[in-house]
Amino acid sequence: MVKREIDRGTQTAIVVSAMGRTTDDLLETTSAVSLSNNTDQVDEVLSMGERTSGRIFNATLSNRGVRSKYFDPDDDEWPIITDAKFGDSTPILSTCQRRIQRHILSCLEDGIVPVLPGFVGRTKDGRITTMGRGGSDVTAFLLARYLPADECVLVTDSEGLMTADPKLIKNARPLPRIRIGEIFSLADSGTKFLKSKALQYMDGTFRVRITSNMARSLRSGGTLIVGGFPSALTAELESPQPSMMITITGESLSQNPKIMKEILSKISAQRARILGFSANSNSLIIYLPCQRGRRLVKKIHESVLAHSEMTAMAVRNNLSLIRIVGFGLVETPGLIATVSEPLRKSCLNLYGIFTIASSIVLLVDWEHRQEALRLVQMSLRRVAA
């Protein structure tokens, strides 16, 4: 597949992963011989899977008449420089950019195909590091970002991203495209490809496609990932208008699909946009814009009166939703406490918090929204520092 692209004149850089279970086997071996406390030695061993794949792939290209060059982490020209957090290192972006453009881009301009082992880095003082699960994707995205590339193609043993895990759902189908915000929500929830650590290096300057190693061409099939996502944690107001919170209580409401459908149908009939929704066994909470709120509240109250399972409802108006998004959301311990504590100290009440994998939403008083937003943004800047 690579040779066909080269024959077409496409400038192509290659990043390879270890074969099969190589990395897992090496990790088990290092544990068996008690190397686990010597993290730099463990990374040196774990890097061998990708480094072996790189040498094999480079030799294969050469045997097929392709001018190629293997880059090893021990080489002076190695481009991926990281911090010294062994086992889960982070690339130093400014250094990587400079070295990629100096060594990898010049290689491509000379008509030579660079072949790099993914997953592997090197500290400034020359020690081998590894970047954790998804590390090969990090390497590929860094090359795509700084060369710059038109497209980054991830070649796997699957047709692409699926509608569900095919091991659990037999009729799961490949997705032709998916937004990056959606894939970020799935990345740490069991999906096979693209850990959130890798996704943060997609800056929107290049396309990303996941395709099968059985495809006829690097250009065909697979799943196209579209859109962008903040690379750092950011906070913004969800809506320029005030919002409302409708709380409905009753017995086993969330277990009654008829009631749930009726309420959602009334919201849909009023063309109201649901900003958020949460439920437990005895209550439902719906977050909506205040516009058209009075008429909608009357409609929902009719449902409360019509069903014995529903007890009562309450409405709180003039709220503002502050949404926090960005990579690092899942990986930042205590983030909710970090952003809520300054609000407490300033006597700004939180009327609710709800979270999903890709965002945290805080509900504050509409009149104090700007002050609350400022405090939250200051908290996030401290986290980043």
Q: Is residue 158 predicted with pLDDT exceeding 90?
A: no
How many angstroms separate the Cα of 167 from the Cα of each of 93, 118, 159, 196, 342? Answer: 37, 27, 14, 22, 45
Record the pTM. Answer: 0.80
CA nearest neighbour of 351 among 244, 225, 239:
244
Tell me, what's the pLDDT at 383?
84
Confidence of residue 5 (pLDDT cuts 50, 70, 90): very high
Q: Which CATH number is associated with domain 2-226?
A: 3.40.1160.10
Q: Is residue 192 predicted with pLDDT exceeding 60?
A: no
Question: For 98-145, how does the pLDDT look when each residue is reduced to its tens digit (9 = 90+)?
Answer: 999 999 999 999 999 999 999 999 999 999 999 998 899 999 999 999
Q: Please state the φ and ψ torsions of residue 142, each to the nearest 5 degrees.
A: -65, -45
Read off the tokens for 174: 């490949």
Tell me, what's the pLDDT at 185?
72
- Count CB-CB contacts under 10 A for residue 29: 12
The highest-level CATH class for domain 234-384 is alpha beta
Q: Is residue 191 predicted with pLDDT exceeding 80?
A: no
CB half-sphere exposure, 190, CA atoms < 13 A: 7
Confidence of residue 189 (pLDDT cuts 50, 70, 90): low
Tell me, what's the pLDDT at 361?
92
| Domain boundaries defined on the chain | 2-226, 234-384
Question: For 274-318, how does the pLDDT look when each residue is reduced to its tens digit (9 = 90+)?
Answer: 888 888 888 899 999 887 677 889 999 999 999 988 999 999 999
